[in-house]
Each structure stands twice: as structure tokens, then as C-alpha cells.
A and B are shown apart, each in its own frame.
Chain A
């Protein structure tokens, strides 16, 4: 495992840890929402540097992990159609559907292509007018404006052969669902820095008010996360609940208005199912009626029977911060990144994969 010793800002980090240790008097449970932050925490062993009073639990912030099984099944079914080219972000290929995954669909002759940007999917449609090109548009608020731009561009160009299978998730409704759950243990949140780069942090004010829960917008570097933890601990210890911004170098109160505008133009808020968690009201996005010609759910007749998740996968508990990946009996045994049983083992940002890469050996010994 790689620890902080090779990390440049080691001195800053140790200073922050000392300050956190000085401030803390009681146990606190903090959740980082974003999978990118989970990855940094595991990679640098930040959780093990913190005083024992502070428990970090990992939230549902991996868009790959929470994309519903039904959506994966639809994408696989589309990919296997001879007239369809399915374009996806690379980390979706190994996500298990009910019976298969996109990687296998590709091996079976399905035309599956990996894109780095949604505009590349539009490019494929432009270059192949005889193919029906479907883009699997997943992501949080950070990815929604780029995906929206793809639909906007296709509509503007009148690209009839381009559609999107949309599975977008929103962070604030997920925090609301966690806070209203009777099982909730989380007492403070680190909000995701790149989501807030796009959305700003005004949306989080209502959460702070309604649940009296401290929220700090945090970046992705070790020192960012430790500073966010310190800001939260100070609030908790003083009995305060405010929204604060640690990631000022990228996040403003109002966010990126140009990005928000295209997102609103193309998408509208809708109920959304989260894999492992279930439906959360108003927690997703769907294409507006004006974009129905580019909505794969409307262009294709997609009636599918979906099987259940493997019973031994406890990803629902993991994604809600109720269990750690290492509590799962399948972890690193029957479930590995090469043969994932559940989605959180697939993406580098999934909590199970992060534990697998950085904690497997410590746990075993």
C-alpha cells in the first residue's frame, strides 16, 4: 500500500491531522459522497491517519455503481442488435447486468465503442449515417452538461441516427434520502468538488437547514480532504451546521452558469432508481420532450425482464455507508475487479474496488 510518505504535501497533511486530533473530543461519522474522494482516502490511507474518533463512511457517489441493472441490460440488448452501435464511457464495460456485460456483448460481435467524450459519440453518428448510434449517458451533475451538449448538438445538426440511453443521478436528493433513512448514521458530509464546480453549493443550503447537518465542499487531493474533515469536525464539536467551501480554487456559490444552462435546456428532473439503493424521488434527469427523437427509450422498444442482484452482494449497504466492503463475505473471494459480482467492484471509484486495491492485504493479515 502507498502511504503519505511519498506525498509531496506530507507536512501540510500531518499538520492537518494534528489539528483534527486536537479538536476532536467525541466520535463522529463523516461521509464523503464522491467515489473519486473515496479513491484518494484509500490510496493515501487517510482514514488510518485520522484519530480513532473519526469514522469515514463512503457514499453512493460512483455513477457507474448506481446505474440501474435495467439500464445495463438495455444497453447490452441494444449493443447486440445488428443495426446499433453502442458508445459508452470505458468504465461501464465490465459492469455486470443481469446475465452479461457490455464487454461480453462486444466479444459476441456487438458493436460497442469506448468514448472519452460524449461529442465523440456524436462524431460516430455523423460518420456512420447507416448505423443507429446509442450513447450510454451516465453520470452525476459534473457529466450532465457535457452529455446534454451531445444531445443539443445532434438535434441542431438533425442527426436522426443519434440517441442517448440516459441514467443521470443528482447528489442533493441522495443526501436527503440518506438523512431521512431510519438507519442513517452519518453526521456530516463532504460534498463533491467537481459536482459543485458545475452546480455551485447553493442547493446544499436547504439540506443544512432541514437536517442541521454540516456540509463542506471538498476537493480530491489528500490535503483537501483532510482540511474538509477538519472544517466538519470544528462545526460538529461546536454544535454548528453550516455549508462551507474548502475547494475554493474551483467552486463558487453559483457554479458554472453556462454548463447549468445547457443542462436545463436538454434535461428535466425525474425520479430515478439507484442500483443497490432503489428509487429516490427527483434524483435523476431525463431528456425533455423536445429531445424525444434522441431518447433511446422512445426510439427503441425496450421491454426487458431483469433478474435480481446476486444475493450475496451487499452493495446496497455499502453505498449507504452502513457496511464496509470488507464486511461483504464475497469481497476479494468470489468478487474481484476481474470478476465483479456487484458494480462497486468495477469502477476505480467504486468503494469495493478501492478497498480491493489498497486494503485487501491489510485485511487479510
Chain B
């Protein structure tokens, strides 16, 4: 829960009055809020903590950090399935 995972912004949109993006982490993408990084644009790499981008980082570092987190086996905990809540909510 102290960690932040770097990912690449693949698309951005407004959603419920908040600026939101699809961010790619390795093979998966997640919905991420861009409210704290107004300067971030599509193609940028951001550090993401509990669904919020907290800083913009450079691409090379982002990739290195991602590989390291993967190697440490912490990605599953930091990027759990987002479906559980949303799907049950729609039932």
C-alpha cells in the first residue's frame, strides 16, 4: 500500500467531472484518475497509487521500475482485479 506502479497513459477522458485515463501496466490496463497530474498527456508515464496518478516519470525509469516490481511479485497486490466491485455493483 505504500507502493506506486508506473504505467503508460493510452487514452484520456472526462468522466463524472473527473479527468480519467486508461493506463497500461505491462499486459493489463486500468482506469486511473489524472486529477493530481493535470500536466500529464497521452503517451506519458505516470506513477499510480490506488487508482490515482501521483507523478509523471520518464519512460525508461518507468519500465525499469515496473520490471522490478514484477520481479518482486508485488504487482498482484498493487493492481488487483478491478472487476469485482464494479460487476457486483451492476447486478
Listed in ascending order, the chain A residues whose CB lies under 8 Å from chain B are 6-8, 34-37, 39-40, 43, 61-64, 87, 89-91, 113-121, 123-124, 126-128, 138-140, 142-143, 145-147, 149, 153, 156-157, 192, 194-195, 197-198, 220-221, 249-250, 256, 258-259, 262, 347-349
Contact = CB atoms under 8 A, between A and B. Distances in A.
A64 B52 contact: no
A104 to B, nearest CB: 18
Contact of A61 (B2, B49, B68): B2
A113 B84 contact: yes
Most buried by B among A64, A114, A220: A220
Given A114-B84, A123-B85, A262-B36, 18 more contacts: A62-B1, A117-B50, A118-B51, A120-B51, A120-B86, A121-B85, A123-B89, A127-B89, A145-B52, A146-B33, A146-B52, A149-B52, A221-B65, A221-B68, A250-B57, A262-B35, A349-B1, A349-B3
A140 B54 CA distance: 14
Interface string B63-91: 01101100110100101111011101110
Contacts of A91: 1, 77
Contacts of A194: 2-4, 47, 49, 54
Contact of B57 (A7, A149, A249): A249
Given A142-B49, A256-B55, A35 B86 contact: no
A259 B4 CA distance: 15
Q: Which 7 A-B pairs have the closest CB atoms?
A: A117-B51, A127-B89, A36-B2, A259-B36, A146-B52, A120-B85, A258-B36
Nearest to B47: A250
Contacts of A63: 1-2
A139 B33 contact: no
A123 B86 CA distance: 7
A61 B33 CA distance: 25
A89 B64 contact: no
B2 A140 contact: yes
Given A194-B2, A249-B57, A146 B38 contact: no
A43 B3 CA distance: 15
A129 to B, nearest CB: 11
B80 A114 contact: yes
Contact of A62 (B2, B16, B74, B82): B2
Contacts of A347: 1
Interface in B26-63: 30-31, 33, 35-38, 47, 49-52, 54-55, 57-58, 61
9 contacts: A6-B71, A36-B3, A62-B1, A114-B84, A143-B49, A146-B49, A197-B4, A221-B64, A249-B61
